[in-house]
Chain A
Amino acid sequence: MALRRGRGVAAVNYPTGMNLGGDPTQALVHSTPTGSFMVTLSSVDLGQGLRTVIAQICAETMGVPTESVTIDTADTDTGPHCMGTFASRGTHRVGNAVVQAAREARQVMLEVAAEELEVDPADLETDGQGNIRVKGASNLNISIFDTALAAHFKQGRSISGRGMFLVPRSYPETETGAMKPSTCYAHACTVAEVEVDDETGEVSVLSVKNVFEIGRALNPKMVEQQLIGGSWMGISHALYETTEPYYPNRTQGPRDYNAYLMPGPGDLAETEIAVLERPSGDGPFGAKGPGEMCANPQIPAVANAIFDAVGVRVDTLPITPERVLRALKEMEAAGAG
């Protein structure tokens, strides 16, 4: 009986979004009288930071400071339609809709400013600090604050824009089942190192080294944060999370956090994260969806590492000590027979 070490590798492709109904999301952008911008959405921020990244996308497209953008996700009854926050689609789908809406709003904003400055809108640019100026003649300028006031109280215009994301529905081919379920794909690869106790069946993950290809990281710190958390969650899926075993029957199963296990702060693997950025052709500023993808490759990598360590293939998740022991016994029995 011994502690046995093993190493496993796995790689995944992960789709961004889905195809059902064309995966639509709509967005509206409008300015307040004082030149702040509201993005109205039905999309939900689950804590992954959608509101932050959408504010960045809107500000970058409009050419205004990020602080002047407010994201309103208050009400799915009254907001523009969104399919929802799932399938790693938020940044990509909502972002695309917001880019379109913000472009339209920017055009109106420049037209209003052009009227005030008595120039052609095509000659205007934004400085990203809250001002609009004539290209090559920055002394000819107007603040976005004053532009919004002029739109509301003088010109009678609404600085606003509409945007949406929609892909053509793809139906499976009858013969082959082939279809195009998503638009772009993120990728990841993990090398996991484990130690397996062949007496108890317990597995500890010593280290995970992850490489993620996620398109362009629009907010690198938030991406890194999600990847670290996701890597942990992948290990949790691989080894911990289940409402089984339940002895002698289902009523003895875990019903609370005491018995539904996840790795705690004392069970962490040494974790490395590397990010590769290959901008997607169809994402907002090249983004893809890093969300769910980042918790996937750890699972097969850990399973492969266990195989490398003790020679058993456990193909049911999570790989609990019981399953490892049963597999070891089967292997022993097969060897003896």
Chain B
Amino acid sequence: MAKIPVQFTLNGSERAEFVESGTTLLAALRDKMGDTSPKGGCHQGTCGACTVMVDGELRLSCLTMAETCNGAHIRTTAGLANGEVLHPLQRAFENGFAAQCGFCTPGMIMAAAALLERNPNPSRDDVVEAISGNICRCTGYEPIIQAVLSAARANSTSAA
């Protein structure tokens, strides 16, 4: 089958690959570009583990065709840290023990990052709403909710 060129910006770097038509963004990121931070859970858009940002909007990369992302800016958890310095959300998840097996964590963090970018001071209900598309089997969610709230507080303190 003829392959299709896809070209987009991944975490600030220009990337170009040839993929089979119908290749998901998840498969392109993981198998072609070596970014395994988005996880393949259900592969049908219900678990949220594959969540990434496409042009600032949250997208389920398992349901997004790679070829529809030409020219887009794509962000994944792998691109959140600034060199050695972790993103405030990553620090909050680590300090708050908000991960156990860690499989849902990249999707949770992207969902939370999108929330904090549009609403730097979210309420608990805002956080619950923001992560409601992401399934976690280990933590019981409470540590994740607390980590997101604590990252928001850390941000507002450092901004002040």
Hey, which bits of chain A sit against chain B, CB under 8 A?
Answer: 46-49, 221-222, 224-226, 228-233, 256-258, 262, 264-266, 268, 271
The interface residues of chain A lying within 8 Å CB-to-CB of B144 are: 265
The distance in angstroms between the C-alpha atoms of A229 and B128, with both chains bound, is 16
Extra pairs beyond A225-B100, A233-B140 (7, CB < 8 Å): A47-B102, A222-B97, A224-B97, A226-B100, A262-B135, A265-B141, A268-B140
Chain A residues positioned under 8 Å from B100 (CB to CB):
47-49, 225-226, 229
Q: B141 — which chain A residues lie within 8 A by C-beta?
A: 232, 264-265, 268
CA distance A226 to B139 in the complex (A): 7
Contact between B132 and A271 (Cβ–Cβ < 8 Å)? no
Flag whether B138 is at the interface (Cβ < 8 A): yes
Set of chain A residues within 8 Å of B156, measured between Cβ atoms: none
Interchain CB contact (< 8 A) of B101 among A47, A224, A228, A262: A47
Distance of A314 from chain B, by nearest CB (Å): 23
Q: Please indicate the chain B residues that have their CB under 8 angstroms from the CB of A228 in the complex.
A: 139-140, 142-143
The listed residue with most B CB atoms (<10 A of its CB), out of A47, A49, A229, A258, is A229
CA–CA, A232 and B143, complex, Å: 11
Chain B residues whose C-beta falls within 8 Å of the C-beta of A271 in the assembled complex: 140, 142
**Separation of A47 and B138 alpha carbons in the complex (Å):** 8
Name B residues whose Cβ lies closer than 8 Å to a Cβ of A: 42, 44, 46-47, 97, 100-103, 127-129, 131-132, 135, 137-145
The chain A residue sitting closest to B139, CB to CB, is A229
The distance in angstroms between the C-alpha atoms of A222 and B94, with both chains bound, is 12
A225→B42 contact, CB < 8 A:
no
Q: CA separation between A230 and B42, bound complex, in Å?
A: 23
Closest A-B pairs by Cβ, 4 of them: A47-B101, A232-B140, A257-B46, A265-B141
Which A residues touch B47, using CB under 8 A?
Answer: 257
Q: Which residues of B contact A258 (CB under 8 A)?
A: 46
> In the complex, A225→B101 CA distance in Å?
12
Other-chain contact of B44, A49, A229, A233, A256 (Cβ < 8 Å): A256
How far does the alpha carbon of A228 sit from the alpha carbon of B145 in the complex, in Å? 13
In the bound complex, what is the Cα–Cα distance between A222 and B42 (angstroms)? 27
Q: Which of B101, B128, B135, B140 contacts A231 (CB 8 A)?
A: B140
Contacts of A230 in B (CB 8 A): 140
Given contacts A47-B100, A47-B102, contact A225 B46 (CB under 8 A): no
Min CB distance B51 to A, Å, is 14
Question: 22 pairs across A/B with beta carbons < 8 Å?
Answer: A46-B101, A47-B102, A49-B100, A224-B97, A226-B100, A228-B140, A228-B142, A228-B143, A229-B139, A229-B143, A231-B140, A233-B140, A256-B42, A256-B46, A258-B46, A262-B137, A264-B141, A265-B132, A266-B132, A268-B141, A268-B142, A271-B140
User: What is the distance, in angstroms, from B25's C-beta to the closest C-beta of chain A?
Assistant: 20
Residues of B within 8 A of A265 (CB): 127-128, 131-132, 141, 144-145
Q: Which residues of A contact B103 (CB under 8 A)?
A: 47
CB distance from B31 to the nearest CB of A (A): 23
Q: Which residues of A contact B138 (CB under 8 A)?
A: 47, 229
In the bound complex, residues from chain A placing their C-beta under 8 Å from that of B143 are 225, 228-229
Most buried by B among A49, A225, A266: A225
CA distance A271 to B44 in the complex (A): 32
A142 to B99, CA, bound (A): 39
Q: How far is the CB of A125 from chain B (nearest CB, A)?
A: 33
Tell me the complex Cα distance, A224–B140, Å: 12
- What is the bound-complex CA distance between A244 and B28, given in angstroms? 36
Q: Which residues of A contact B131 (CB under 8 A)?
A: 265
Complex CA distance for A260 and B112, rounded to whole angstroms? 24
Chain B residue with the shortest CB-CB distance to A270: B142
Cβ contacts under 8 Å, A225 to chain B: 97, 100, 139, 143
C-alpha gap A268/B136 in the complex (Å): 13
Q: How far is the CA of A231 from the CA of B102 in the complex (A)?
A: 19
Q: Once bound together, how far apart are the Cα atoms of A228 and B143, in whole Å?
A: 8
Q: Tell me which residues across on chain A come within 8 A of B102, comparing CB atoms.
A: 47
Residues of B within 8 A of A232 (CB): 139-142
- A264 to B, closest residue via Cβ: B132
Contacts of B127 in A (CB 8 A): 265
In the complex, chain A residues whose CB is within 8 Å of the CB of B140: 228-233, 268, 271
Instruction: Write out the residue numbers on chain B whose beta carbons fall within 8 Å of the beta carbon of A233.
Output: 137, 140
Whole-angstrom CA separation of A216 from B43 in the bound complex: 41
* Cα–Cα, bound, A221→B141 (Å): 16
B43 → chain A closest CB, angstroms = 10
